[in-house]
Amino acid sequence: MSLYIDVSYESINKYREELCGDKVEIIRSPDSVVVVLADGLGSGVKANILATLTSKIIGTIMSNGLDIEEAVNTVAKTLPVCKERGVAYSTFSIIQIFNNGEGYLAEFDNPSVVRLRKGKMLNLETESRVVNDKLIKEARFKVSPDDLFVMISDGVIHAGIGQTLNLGWQWDNVSEYIQKTYKKDASSKTLAKLLLSACDNLYSHEPGDDTTVVTLKAKKPVKLNLMIGPPVDSTRDDEIVSRFIGNEGKKVICGGTTSQIVARVLGKEIKTSIEYFNPAVPPTAEIEGINLTTEGVLTLRKTLDLLKACVSPESGMGDMLKLNKKDGASRLAKMLLEESTSIYFFVGRAMNPAHQNPEFPLNMGMKFKLVEELAALLTHTGKHISIEYC
């Protein structure tokens, strides 16, 4: 079994703090992904340094196959000692998931990881051991597709204390909320943003503590093939379209001429839509066997804007919810960000006659630039990207 682990994290700083005292480290290797969430003592610069050191050290050691004991010892020896309290301290949670479905969890003083399988709570049986005077809880488990792990810092369970809630958000409440919000198709990004948004709201947008949510969602790999622009050599139309259709996964076509070529080669009809969901985005079309057919450069640019907004650390749930709109750009952005794990771009290099018009603001270079920006952004989110220029 090969799994794709969709990982995302979101943080909010304690009110009026420039730096976050929580730190997340994600280290992807060919056979596993290691995620460390460290919560430094106190807040501000000091907490940020403690958390950064802790997460970096643990992440590096664990991803190199060394034991948790080694990691904790190194952290204990390395961390600077707090002048006020006389301790070097950072709580942490570590999850390592291997592509073959094996999982490892280690926790020190952080709220327990929430684990859901197909939306239902599934307890992690942990064992405790003392390493360097620290009580570490460990678990080894099997990961299935649709498993969701949510790591949280204590800022999450303190949300709303003395404001909207008397005793804050208890761990049980958090897990209940995660179960309520669970959607099979939702990406780890959406889930992390949603939980963090709830915490921010409970804090009335003035967080009393650094708050971090890390979500890991195990998925079966989902491939997506995106064809943009006609091939430069029209004699290769049939071959390129055949390979595009023959590839495993979802199919998306961007561009009017490109869709005409695909429809001609496949012998299918293009049904154009008259629905303008968003005046800024051209309408979509339908070709049997193709999941989405859109206009070209304008839609791609809008898609890129939407993705940038979603991936930005400043973005909120409002940006993620825009992906649920029905226009071509929103649908494409959702497919790229939430519904696929690896994306194969077929980028045609033929000159578009419309782009020859000197008054037209877009040119061929701009199309390639858009594709490159899209690819870079999606790579950053952990997607496997391949680009073929044809």
Judged by CB under 8 A, does residue 148 bind another protein? Answer: no
Strand 285-286 versus strand 384-389 pairing type: unpaired
Q: Which of 195, 241, 371, 377 contacts another protein by CB under 8 A?
A: 195
Cβ-Cβ contacts under 8 Å for 169 (sequence gap 6 or more): 156, 157, 158, 159, 160, 177, 199, 202
Judged by CB under 8 A, does residue 386 bind another protein? Answer: no
DSSP letter at 109 equals B
Q: Which of 26, 97, 202, 370 contacts another protein by CB under 8 A?
A: 202
Residues 241-280 that bind another protein (CB under 8 A): 274-276
Judged by CB under 8 A, does residue 131 bind another protein? Answer: no
Residue 296's closest CA among 341, 342, 214, 362? Answer: 362
Residue 349's closest CA among 237, 225, 226, 229? Answer: 229
Residues 288-327 that bind another protein (CB under 8 A): 317-318, 321
- To another protein, the closest distance from the beta carbon of 172 in angstroms equals 12
By beta-carbon proximity to another protein, the closer residue of 201 and 386 is 201
Judged by CB under 8 A, does residue 177 bind another protein? Answer: yes
- To another protein, the closest distance from the beta carbon of 248 in angstroms equals 32
Could you tell me where the DSSP H helices lie in 182-279?
188-202, 237-246, 256-266
Starting at the earlier edge strand, list the strands of the sheet with 223-228.
271-272, 285-286, 292-294, 250-254, 223-228, 342-347, 384-389
Distances (CA, A) of 330 to 141, 271, 305, 313, 384: 37, 20, 10, 19, 21
Judged by CB under 8 A, does residue 165 bind another protein? Answer: yes
By beta-carbon proximity to another protein, the closer residue of 40 and 208 is 208
By beta-carbon proximity to another protein, the closer residue of 60 and 179 is 179
By beta-carbon proximity to another protein, the closer residue of 104 and 171 is 171
Q: Which of 193, 217, 302, 331 contacts another protein by CB under 8 A?
A: 193
- To another protein, the closest distance from the beta carbon of 22 in angstroms equals 18
- Give the Cα separation of 55 and 330 in Å (integer): 35
Distances (CA, A) of 97 to 35, 117, 126, 137, 145: 9, 15, 16, 17, 12
Helices H, strands E: what count in the chain? Answer: 11, 18
Judged by CB under 8 A, does residue 162 bind another protein? Answer: no
Judged by CB under 8 A, does residue 130 bind another protein? Answer: no
The one-letter amino acid at 57: I
Distance from the Cα of residue 210 to its chain's centroid: 21
Judged by CB under 8 A, does residue 80 bind another protein? Answer: no
By beta-carbon proximity to another protein, the closer residue of 65 and 318 is 318
By beta-carbon proximity to another protein, the closer residue of 37 and 191 is 191
By beta-carbon proximity to another protein, the closer residue of 10 and 154 is 10
Residues in the site for another protein, rule: CB under 8 A?
A: 160, 164-165, 173, 176-177, 180-181, 193-202, 274-276, 317-318, 321
